[in-house]
Chains A and B, each alone.
Chain A
Amino acid sequence: MKRILDILIAFKEYVALAAYVAAALVLIGISQSTDVMPLRAFTTGVVGVIQSSTSWIMNPFTLSRENAELRQQAIELASEVGRLRRSKVENDELRRLLGIGMRPEWKLLPAEVVGKTTTFERNMITLSRGESDGVAKGMAVVTDAGLVGKIYSTSAHFSLVEMLFNRDFRAAAKVGRTRVEGIVAWDGGPTLVMRNVPKALDVQVGDLIVSSEYSTFFPAEVPIGTVLKIQPEPNSLFRSVTVEPTVNLFRVEHVYVVLKDINLEQERLTLEQKAKDDATKQALKK
């Protein structure tokens, strides 16, 4: 026994390394598990409290530029609101005549961004709203310009939002003009990517990409981005579509949380089906 102990002490650096690596791998394994959610909620609360007390620090640097942008946006939106109101009346009337059900109205909760971490390994924002306001994990977060992300974790008074530029972000989406469907994900840079879009289908630079009705995390028809570039995937019948987000994620200050019951199971099934379709397409490519 003493001999074993002596060996362990003599090689303590290696023994410790093995133990630490094993512990780290176990942590990586349970990282997405629901067991760690209470821990996430606790850290969201702690970080939220500190960030909300220091959130004013960045404002003086960006305030003037943002004010100018917001004034411009307000003018553009005012005219758009008029057009949309007329379109909505027409659309509701046509839907009624055709017997198509009305789309559900989303209840929006305004929230202030009190903390922002925009280093590329961790693109997250902290909101001033939490469970006490009805916010729950998985709810969509939007601005007037489009989709920002979804709620990652919540505490009583704060919530953490996983933005579009995040390794885990996936959204069922479609091209607004032609309804070509796909899954949008982050490609690691300042853009998003929609892969495995068949060459035969109509997608053009400048097209608006919106969330699809298949997604239960995100309400349908919310703008995600515009097509920036279309690249053929080598030796295949598919194209890769680069999408520029409609929201400036690095300057977002006020957002809305879409309050609704989320059907996680439906989202999971949708993504699984899409993944199967993608795998079939990949197999066809080979």
Chain B
Amino acid sequence: MNYLIYAGVGIVLVALQVLFSRFLSIAGASPDFVLIFLVWITIREGQFVGETSGFALGLILDIFSSGILGAHTLSKTVACFLIGFFYDPEKIEQHVRNWPFLLLTLLAAVINNFLFYFLYTRASEISFIEFAFRYGAVGALYTVVIAILPVLYWSRRRAY
């Protein structure tokens, strides 16, 4: 049942990402809602479920974003796999409701963005280093700022 809910939420977030991220775009960089959700899944369910979700949602994102087919799939799968090493069944709540979630989101966003932009800038006139720092780093920080909202929500839910 949980997995069905994850799938439903994931698809809604992909739709939000594709259709409405332009409203939140700052200097060409936009937050990655799907990645925040994937980090949350990985922390809660572990490496295998995380990377599988990364693959599935990355693939749907690739299909609907009309970009390089497979780029989001690869970057999100690898990011979730690496974040999966921080999975600890005894510290799930502690990780999700506190600053470790933000730290892991930052790590995931950096891995995801740099891998994605490496594939994106391949065989083009665009400089990878310049592009990755200009949009990848700003995008990663922006994603972390947005990730503060669910952390605040979950920590308040615990308080009451």
Cβ–Cβ contact B19 & A121, under 8 A: no
Instruction: Give A23-64 interface residues, CB cut-off 8 Å to B.
Output: 23-31, 36, 39-40, 43-44, 46-47, 50-51, 54, 57-58
Cβ–Cβ contact A13 & B81, under 8 A: yes
A119 to B48, CA, bound (A): 31
Whose C-beta in chain A lies nearest to the C-beta of B64? A43
A30 to B131, CA, bound (A): 24
- Majority secondary structure of chain B interface residues (helix, strand, loop or mixed): helix
Cβ–Cβ contact B124 & A153, under 8 A: no
A58 to B24, CA, bound (A): 12
By size class, the interface of chain A is: 35 or more
Instruction: Give A171-212 interface residues, CB cut-off 8 Å to B.
Output: 185-189, 193, 195
User: B4-22, CB under 8 A of A: which get 1 and which 0?
Assistant: 0000000000010011011
Q: Is A137 an interface residue (CB 8 A)?
A: no
Cβ–Cβ contact B67 & A122, under 8 A: yes
Instruction: Give A87-143 interface residues, CB cut-off 8 Å to B.
Output: 115-122, 124
By size class, the interface of chain B is: 35 or more
A-B contact pairs, 19 of them (CB 8 A): A13-B51, A17-B77, A21-B74, A21-B77, A24-B55, A28-B70, A43-B66, A46-B64, A118-B25, A119-B30, A120-B131, A122-B65, A160-B66, A167-B124, A186-B124, A186-B126, A187-B125, A187-B127, A188-B130
The chain B residues found within 8 Å of chain A, CB to CB, are 15, 18-19, 21-23, 25, 28-30, 47-48, 51-52, 54-55, 58-59, 62-71, 73-74, 77-78, 81, 84, 116-117, 119-121, 124-127, 130-131, 134-135
